[in-house]
Structure 1
Amino acid sequence: MTKCKSDLSFVAAGVVGALALVSAEGALAAQTNAPKVPATSVTVETVAEGLENPWGLQFLPDGRMLVTERPGRLRIVSKDGQLSKPVSEVPKVYARGQGGLLDVRLSHNFADDGMLFLSYAEPRDGGKAATAVARARLELTDDGGRLSDVKVIFQQQPAYSTTRHFGSRIVIDKKGVLFITTGDRGQGEPAQNPDETVGKVIRINADGSIPDDNPKPEGWKPEIWSIGHRNIQGAVLDVETGQLWTVEHGARGGDELNHPEKGKNYGWPVITYGRDYSGAKIGIGTEKAGMEQPVYYWDPSIATSGLELYTGDLFPQWKGNFLVGGLAGAQLARLVMKDGQVVGQEILLKDEGLRIRDVRQGPDGAVYLLVDESDGAILRLSPESK
């Protein structure tokens, strides 16, 4: 990796360079191609290997890790990288295409209740599938663990026969309320239909019930928080402000960073900065009244997946920055934020050629990455020692 001390003193001066468009009313429309910041010297270590298409990573209180494998396995990974036997009683998954076992998150009261949440592509009648979320109690054993009291608390409707765009991240707030991201299943238009949970951000209680303060506009299913999303595969909550942030796959040149807000429409597929893979135009353009602009978009796309807001001390210059995994882009992007806008970027691991599926800050302040390959791995990023 390049050796250089990070110096962000120039960033404020580079804000103008990060502003891509301004609407006719003079309001900020969107940002892209933020100016580069000096590179950070990092050490990359392999923590564990032999994982088949790992998708979601979650630290247990004792420092071990839970990792999902897309074919349908949940494993416990020791601090020294040893993989447990698959945890038993995991729900059956639709392991085709982009489907399978996806995200994993612990209850906000895990130390007391031992509960976790899994998102996955759920097989449905007629060979169809849709995103679902189940909660369960994790019982640890000497060689792994088992799930008990498994209950499905969310089922995306309707199901489709395609194998694309399941979402799907889970974020849990301080009160234990869940945000769940769903994909548009490659269908596009249903993301604008508030009577379907396709291409949406969902907000439910831990038992599957609907929070009283959900938006509930007329015609919306009560579990929907926001609409008009293509395929959100990264999500994180700013614990200080309570703001949800997401990254979603666009088409060509249309990956987005958003902060989905209550009752708002994020435009897909009516407005987008992306183009069809054939090069054809999608929708009506980049703006429409009543539809939200992304905070930032990538052109070219990097196939965003995995999002973390760094708050640790190991990389003090990264505090308050977003870390975004790239699949097709094979990178870890660091977005420097100021007043809710992206004012700088650093591209890490570009020379490694790795598909970064998930990004998590560890209890030690290091950054942990899932490499999504048939022989996948967990990587640890720490500052390069002098």
Structure 2
Amino acid sequence: MSEEIKLMKGNEAIAHAAIRYGADGYFGYPITPQSEIMETLMDEAPWNTTGMVVLQAESEVAAINMVYGGAGCGKRVMTSSSSPGISLKLEGISYIAGAELPCLIVNVMRGGPGLGTIQPSQADYFQTVKGGGHGDYRLITLAPSSVQEMADFVALGFDLAFKYRNPAMILADGIVGQMMEKVVLPPAQLRKTEAEIIEECPWATLGKPKSRERNVITSLELDPAKMEENNIRFQKKYKAIEEAEVRYEEFMCDDADYLLIAFGSSARICQKVVEMAREEGLKVGLFRPITLWPFPSKVLNEYGDKVKGMLSVELNAGQMVEDVRLAVNGKVKVEHFGRLGGIVFTPDEILEALKNKLL
């Protein structure tokens, strides 16, 4: 398959990009608003073309443990779900992180807590970037704001996961998952051969030849001294990721007196707010974190010396705002504006909040 331009939903773009990336397997369970990912994969039937396995598991718990098994073999495997389903996967995600295995997880967020609603939300920020499951682990977290990025972040997520032997997550909201836009799909790549996996992933459990010791993949270590060594190694890896993999986007920030901080669909809405504010003579810019972890703290800290205030705009009760405040370390006033329960704010509401909270 060569490069193609198509009109599709964000969820559909995830599925097509996974096939074209050469993913080996997808294991999932349906839940709104992400079900089109698995539906599209089933419609495309990649097992007949690339050999990719697509399986609806009996539950979210089963799906994430299938990912664990596939990742342990060095395969490029993934899963997707929406907020309550991700909660069910958290034990498995912690096990995968503890075993230092690469995989891709997609969360198309909906409103909560509990079963909540099927409308969009960004209330899984804490769950994703602060761990979610048990133990001191981190998820490389990419936050797309367009259908194009939904497609692009599949390859990026897999590449980062394998580079650092760490699970990566695409954290989208229901708006980005469901909206339709033009997307450029990349040329298709071949799936990795067994020989390539053995060469690139010497840790993988693909059968033990006589020439090496057996590979053991586990997150279990009953010796506390060795477990501490493992955790120290994990923290060094996380530090390396924080130094090398921060991604963000700036929109009219050069001369800004005030910054809107937003990710995902909220950032799309905030672009309009910036334009509206500029028309009124207010120098407002937009800073969009693309990696929610690692978070662009150093860059925001530098903006703390340049601007008069920041407004964190999120579809939640105030989560990313805590990381923004930690980043600027008291240099400027940082406020939050959000809507809850699946309600999406308007540009007018955000602009009014900016004026009320910062001016």
Same fold at TM > 0.5 = no
Q: Which structure ranks higher in relative contact order (CA pairs < 8 Å, sequence separation ≥ 6)?
A: 2
Structure with higher strand content: 1
TM-score calculated relative to the size of structure 1: 0.26
Larger radius of gyration: 2
Structure with higher helix content: 2
